[in-house]
Amino acid sequence: MPSLSPAAERNKGPIFEILNPLLPTGAQVMEVASGTGQHADYFCEKRPDLRWQPSDPDQASFENIMEFYRARKSEAFQEPIRWSVFDPLPEPLQRSFDAVVNINMIHISPWEACLALLDHCKIWLASGGLLHLYGPFILGDRPTAASNLAFHQSLQARDPRWGLRELDQVVAAAATRGLLWKKTIDMPANNVSVLFSAPRRDFPSR
Ligand SMILES: C[S@@+](CC[C@H](N)C(=O)[O-])C[C@H]1O[C@@H](n2cnc3c(N)ncnc32)[C@H](O)[C@@H]1O
């Protein structure tokens, strides 16, 4: 039996509700930092038309995702890749995706990991493609919840390069890579889903 993350078990349903209507039939989805693989498994169960590429650099996480992959036996669930945003792109990732999904990573890694993720999105996302970031953020328009402040401090104590990100800074970094902020949606437990889109590239008709 694969290990389960209680947080992923709680948030997979609410995240699915947000993303499901935004993913076209047959959408190619790249998931960065899949962790246990629960989100990949849930989306592939609910949407067998998707082509969901899970990835994570951590060996134990990778093996856990492999357990889900073998059990699901669905064309939707692509073979997981052991990969960090700091690595060069392996062959299976050298293509475009309709959506990139990243859940609870950018505060548990250095700021450079967020920038590297955005760099990859610039290359990956097809015209009008979607980037979904999920997690706790420092939001410009409201005070940070006490639980999120405490979490931020505990992350910084573990590694001073970690910590909750200011959403305005993430939006600005995305904009310099041509990724446009679309929407921030409140989610349970003081988390948010943040949606970005790649510009539409309309080719002139002949
Ligand atoms: C808190 S877990 C979240 C996992 C999963 N997305 C979830 O929500 O359950 C953070 C994940 O980020 C991954 N991670 C950390 N640094 C990374 C990097 N440089 N590139 C890709 N993933 C990374 C870790 O291996 C870990 O699985």
**pLDDT > 70? residue 171:** yes
- Whole-number Å distance, alpha carbon 203 to ligand 1 midpoint, is 36
For the segment 146-159, the average pLDDT, to the nearest whole number, is 98
- CA-based torsion, 38, 48, 192, 110: positive or negative: positive
Enumerate the domain spans of the chain.
Answer: 27-87, 96-199
The model's pTM:
0.97
Distance (Å, rounded) from C-alpha 186 to C-alpha 64?
Answer: 29
Q: What is the CATH number of domain 96-199?
A: 3.40.50.150
User: Looking up tokens 């998931």, which residue turns up?
Assistant: 31
Counting ligand 1 atoms within 8 A of each CB, the residue from 65, 105, 121 with the most, and so the one to mutate, is 105
Residue ranges in the chain assigned as alpha helix (H): 6-19, 38-46, 59-72, 111-124, 146-158, 167-175
- CA neighbor of 172 nearest in space, from 181, 183, 162, 163: 181
CA of 93 to the centre of ligand 1 (A): 17
Whether residue 205 has pLDDT greater than 70: no
For the chain, the residue count is 206
Q: What is the pLDDT of residues 93-141, one digit of tens each?
A: 999 999 999 999 999 999 999 999 999 999 999 889 999 999 999 999 9
Residue 206 above 50 pLDDT? no
pLDDT at 187 over 60: yes
Mean pLDDT estimate for the chain: 96
**Looking at ligand 1, which residue's alpha carbon is closest to its atom 2?**
35
Q: What is the pLDDT of residues 113-124, one digit of tens each?
A: 999 999 999 999
